[in-house]
Amino acid sequence: MKAGETRGGLAGTILRVDLSTGVIRKEETARYAGEWIGGRAINSRILLDEVGRQTTWSDPENLLIFGAGALAGIAPGGSRLSVDTKNVFSGGKGSANVGGHFAPELKFAGYDHVVISGRAEKPVYLWIFDDKVEIRDARFLWGKTTFETEAALQQELGNDRVRVACIGPAGERLVRGSLILVDRAKAAGGSGVGCVMGSKNLKAVAVRGTGRLGIVRPDDFAGAMATAMRKVEESPTTAPMQDKTLAGVYYTDEHNPSWDLLFVARNGQDDYWEIEKRKRLMNAATGAPRFRKKVLACSNCPAGCMPFSQIDDGPYKGTSGEGFWVNTIMSATMLDITDPEAMIAAWLRMNELGLDDDFATGMSAWAYECFEKGLLTENDTDSLSLTWGNGDAFVSLLGKIAYREGIGDLLARGPIEAAQMVGGGSDYFAINVKGQPSIEPFRVPKGWGLGVATSPVAGRHLRGSILGSGRFGPKGSVFEPQTYEDKARYVTWQGLTKEIEDLAGICVYVGTWSGAHALEVSDYAALLDSALGLDLDEKELMRIARRSRALEKSFNSLHTDMGREDDLPPRRYMEESVKSGPFKGHRCEPDKWGRMLDDYYEFQGWDRRTGLQRKSTLESLGMDDVARRLAVAGKLADRGPER
């Protein structure tokens, strides 16, 4: 696609907003779409081109980019928005992805991307209503929670169909692990994207669109849509996800093997959570499932996965809202909490305050272990008893983190700085990947751990993690999750398919990652090809995915000194073995992990010794300009493939 050519599926315009000067301008999406299609890939290209190496995450010159996927608003599961910026934790690429209704609404208003630069002198919000774009005073919103902000903006703008992406008190106070919330429940979490938004004094982006999106080849697109819808409907996990699960995890009173693979106990002290504790949390009759009232879906989703829970009695009476997800259970096991009501309340509280779940849980688990070891006492914790399993204390702690009150101010700083302040060897169990708190398993599911460790956005599992045969990997793949063999191949494949899903704006839960194996790369190619009018097949789409991944790797190379040693698991998981359960004795063995990492680098076309990209790889992807920039910076491996 060249500038001026038809751009079906795309809105066609990139909106640029400078908060320092108030200047708003527009440019054509076609400038980028032919090479990068949309979503995160275009965001990454803009970041690489326009954010200087010396720019920090809090500088006005840092960019915050909202990018709707190319198929958002028109395809099954087409709801996703990529938010990209400089990573608060690593200093490299920062990225989050969120569903809901915001991305389609942005495209209906006429915009594929919003590129935000500068810093406002006072709190502002951005109002987008078709051709009308305004930077407005947000002082009446400052201090409000995310829930209150959405309601206030819909009232102010006189339309309950206005879609809002906003920060809460955590983002306002620059808590490192702040998120951007959409539709009261969908979180753009990780990388501190909400912290960056707060640093710009930007409280919210509100959008209402009345336009329509075109299709270049309607008949072909209709055929691709019919195939896609059939695959989603026939997927063996679509109906169970709606009817029999919370958090994408089947609740049962029997032993569920997925718990032995996926959940880490007590800040990583073990990788096994006792069955009786699982039952108390997730028993269908007495646990979290009994509070589920219905299941909701994002825009264009034919499946639906978001449970709406409501608590009608007890200490958390009146608590209600969307959200009890896989990470909710991961948080519970990390803190040893079996109280389902406390965990529902905690999850909703994090959304309300604008706190990323993984960050808040990871920092809280570190504090609980500090308390266990006597490094923190009730004198330090504002009289909170941070004992394992204390769910009420966790709920209270969330408010302290978001408002940076008492012990919360320490935790808001993130694992590196907090551990330095407390000392006592607490850095060892400040579990993080590239500075970002992690609640992920490493010791048992090796492919999951490899995906987390090598994630370009510092330790998030949605960039390549795989679990076991038939889940989180190519259809038909057969492998044992606890072994090292073939994990590099499948993690590479899964990472590339996620690049495709995010540039297209398709949710993973109707795609390749969820285990449903509904939509495949061939489906994405058919949908994109017919909607946008591209000459695109599966092979070319995978090549674009490699190019997109190379942009993020290049940004990290230019902006940080991260190397091979940063792609290793946290020390605890290499030095301590699983203490109980069926995988007792398992750990991340340095030599075997190293060989797996060698293979991963080879599949990526990177240098094994340094982890840097090779010139030949970038040139084969048509990215000679990027190779030259890396060479000038001394961040390019010139050697050919290693044998």
Q: Does domain 235-437 have CATH number 1.10.490.10?
A: no
Q: Is 371 helix (H, G, I), strand (E, B) or coil?
A: helix
Task: Flag the least confident range among 286-295, 523-532, 572-581.
Answer: 286-295
* Tens digit of each residue's pLDDT (9 = 90 or more) over 511-537: 887 665 789 999 999 999 999 998 899
If you search the block for the tokens 């219905």, which residue do you land on?
294
Which pLDDT does position 3 carry in this prediction? 32
Percent of the chain with pLDDT over 70: 95
Q: What's the average model confidence in pLDDT over 313-324?
A: 93
Q: Where are the domains of the chain?
A: 13-208, 235-437, 446-632
Q: Is 38 helix (H, G, I), strand (E, B) or coil?
A: coil
Burial of 14 (0-12, 13-18, 19+ CB in 10 A): buried
Choose among 13, 11, 84, 89: nearest CA to 50: 84
State yes or no: pLDDT of 643 exceeds 50: no
Q: Is 132 helix (H, G, I), strand (E, B) or coil?
A: strand
State yes or no: pLDDT of 87 exceeds 80: yes
Angle at 202 between CA 197 and CA 203, to 5 degrees: 100
Helix%, strand%, coil% for the chain, nearest 5: 40, 15, 45
166 close to 201: Cβ distance less than 8 angstroms: no
pLDDT category, 639, cuts 50, 70, 90? low
If you search the block for the tokens 């965990």, which residue do you land on?
343
Q: Do domains 235-437 and 446-632 have the same CATH topology?
A: no
* Tens digit of each residue's pLDDT (9 = 90 or more) over 163-187: 999 999 999 999 999 999 999 999 9
Distance of CA 582 to the CA centre of its chain: 30
Q: What's the average model confidence in pLDDT over 363-371?
A: 98
Q: How far apart are CA 205 and CA 301, in angstroms?
A: 23
Give me the residues paired with residue 117 across strands: 18
Q: How far apart are CA 129 and CA 127, in angstroms?
A: 7
CATH T-level fold of 446-632: 1.10.599
186 close to 163: Cβ distance less than 8 angstroms: no
Q: How far apart are CA 406 and CA 51, in angstroms?
A: 35
Q: What's the average model confidence in pLDDT over 83-112?
A: 98
Q: How far apart are CA 69 and CA 624, in angstroms?
A: 26
CATH among 3.30.1130.10, 3.50.50.60, 3.30.70.360, 3.60.9.10 for 13-208: 3.60.9.10
Q: Which helix (H) or strand (E) holds 410?
A: helix 407-411
Q: Can you spell out the DSSP letters for 560-573?
A: ----GGGGSPPHHH
Give me the residues paired with residue 178 across strands: 355
Other CB atoms closer than 10 Å to residue 252's CB: what's the count?
A: 14
- For the chain, the average pLDDT equals 93
Tokens of 574: 């290499």
Q: How far apart are CA 564 and CA 572, in angstroms?
A: 18
Q: What's the average model confidence in pLDDT over 594-602?
A: 98
Choose among 466, 499, 450: nearest CA to 597: 450
* Tens digit of each residue's pLDDT (9 = 90 or more) over 44-55: 999 999 999 999
State yes or no: pLDDT of 8 exceeds 90: no
Furthest-apart CA atoms within the chain: distance in Å? 68
- Rounded to two decimals, the pTM is 0.96
